[in-house]
Structure formats: C-alpha cells, structure tokens
Amino acid sequence: MKTLAEIQVSYHPKTCSKPQINSSQDAYELIKPLYNEDILQYKVIFMVLYLNSLNRVLGYHMHSVVIRLTQYRV
C-alpha cells in the first residue's frame, strides 16, 4: 500500500479589512492591482481568493504562473 504525505496549511490573519465579494466584478477590482499589466500578456496567472462563509476575503495565493511561448506573425 502506498502512502501520501499530508500537507498542512496554516492561516495567521493580519489586522486588515476583509472586503466582501458580491460579484465577479468585485473580485476583479480586488485582484487587478496585484497583476503587473506590462507582463500580463505574456503570462497566464492562476490566483486563488480565500473567502469565509460570508464571502469576506481572508487572503489570496498566486497559485501558478505559466509563461506563454506563442509566436506571432506580423
């Protein structure tokens, strides 16, 4: 029988505001400042927002970044 390692994640809240997400527009406005728009066209970024049961933001994690290697012809 193979066993897998358990991953434990800890959360240490900081004293900060916890904005509420009521729509996709709210989420967009919240995470947009976290992206560098100069390089966004070259990268695919997967961001995770962690919410409580009242849709208040607990935090975020930039889960993965993939660089696009597509060539464009002019």
DSSP string for residues in 15-40: S----B--SHHHHHHHHGGGS-TTTG
Q: In the predicted model, what is the mean pLDDT of residues 46-58? A: 89
Contact, 64 vs 43, CB < 8 A? no
DSSP 8-state assignment for residue 56 = B
Closest of 51, 54, 9, 53 to residue 30, by C-alpha: 51
Residue 74 — very low, low, confident or very high, per pLDDT cuts 50/70/90? low
Give the three-state DSSP class for 13: coil
pTM (2 d.p.): 0.64
Per-residue pLDDT at 24: 95
Per-residue pLDDT at 71: 57
Closest of 31, 40, 39 to residue 61, by C-alpha: 31
State the average pLDDT for the chain. Answer: 80
